[in-house]
Structure 1
């Protein structure tokens, strides 16, 4: 599966606007209250692709026109959630548009999140993480003693 690039001139380009606008223009019907399309902030969810094999995980995200300094990538929840946010601004003679994205991905427990790398090239951000080495299951025998069970240890507060 290859990545598809976002096209702002697509028939569906304004589709997200109705979800992020608490008072959609189609419901208002009053021209003075309809949003100006020349000055707009567009929330978008970038297209992405996840691939993996036995040794590594790869997440490729379309972020055309976004520079590394305009993005933030963080690990949250003990390294189990990858949080990406960022955006870009487009200014022309007649309009100003700002595109923002905020996306979270839950990562598998089999990834070594301390070794995640991120590379940006031609508008595609690629994050890779090696998988942890699978250790063979271990078996441990626990000795059984007879008599009263020991009391719980008290913790200092």
Structure 2
């Protein structure tokens, strides 16, 4: 999970956002939020239905990947979300919003939202604080699932299709 945050995400930073865009190459072309998520997961070796999930509601794949470790927030301040994440511990999370998706990375009480930013499409993929001017801070609905459960790791090691 540290490798994804420190070595994979940086390749994608600056890849411009565009609705329905699906570049497979960081820094070339444009990418939508769902494709950013599924590209990263595929690139690190998870056998998932990349295109199908990228085009679905994020809660669909969050439930599949996170199993029981899911938390929903409805009309709650972003400070409640951040407190939950810090108390849940270091790790990589997926988050689904009203009309967006991204990763959340928690490391030593620092919480970052990594996503293909449609607020500033030319900035594209960014890492920002939760309370920044971003979709996560303004969303009324947030569903969060922690990644890298034992079941997810076993599927990854066995190269089993997760669907």
TM over 0.5: no
Q: Tell me the TM-score normalised to structure 2 length.
A: 0.25
Q: Tell me the TM-score normalised to structure 1 length.
A: 0.26
More helix by share: 2
- Structure with the larger RCO, 1 or 2 (CA within 8 Å, 6+ apart): 2
Q: Which structure has the bigger radius of gyration? A: 1
